[in-house]
């Protein structure tokens, strides 16, 4: 089944404790992206990647890092999480940078205390 998977689905952590949220897609998509979703604000793009080893900042990149060493994986790293990073995170992929339809993962609900 074609899909985007994320792990973990739920995470509660403390301020300053480094964490990684994994994202993997099995559709051989070139383009991948991370979003956060907060009430009343809609999905905001954190980072995106147009291909392996090519990543760039989205609209809200502060406090996050990403890497794209393999085509299928695009982990999101929070080196020192803070309470304002409490949010619902989605990974998405699409065929290429000029594609339109994006396929989303199931989401990761992160709480930072």
Residues binding another protein (CB under 8 A): 4, 31, 35, 40-45, 48, 50, 56, 90, 92, 97-107
Whether residue 60 contacts residue 36, with contact meaning beta carbons closer than 8 Å, is answered with yes
CB closer to another protein out of 16 and 106: 106
CB of 67 vs another protein, minimal distance in Å: 18
Question: Cβ 18 to another protein, closest distance in Å?
Answer: 25
Minimal distance, residue 49 CB to another protein, in Å: 10
Q: Which is nearer to another protein, 13 or 103 (CB)?
A: 103
| Cα(50)–Cα(30) distance, integer angstroms | 6
Angle 33-16-48 from CA coordinates, rounded to 5° = 10
DSSP string, 4-56: EEEE-SEEEE-TT--EEEEEEESS--SEEEEEEEETTTEEEEEEEEEETTEEE
Nearest-approach distance from CB 16 to another protein, in angstroms: 28
Closer of 32 and 78 to another protein (Cβ): 32
């Amino acid at each position: 089944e074609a899909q985007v998977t994320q792990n973990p689905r739920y995470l509660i952590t403390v301020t300053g404790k480094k964490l990684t949220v994994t994202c993997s897609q099995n559709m051989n998509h070139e383009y991948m992206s991370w979003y956060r979703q907060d009430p009343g604000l809609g999905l905001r793009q954190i980072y995106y990647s147009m291909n392996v080893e090519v990543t760039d900042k989205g609209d809200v990149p502060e406090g996050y890092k990403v890497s794209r060493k393999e085509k299928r994986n695009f982990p999101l790293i929070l080196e020192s999480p803070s309470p304002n990073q409490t949010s619902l995170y989605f990974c998405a992929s699409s065929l290429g940078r000029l594609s339109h339809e994006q396929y989303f993962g199931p989401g990761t609900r992160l709480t930072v205390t």
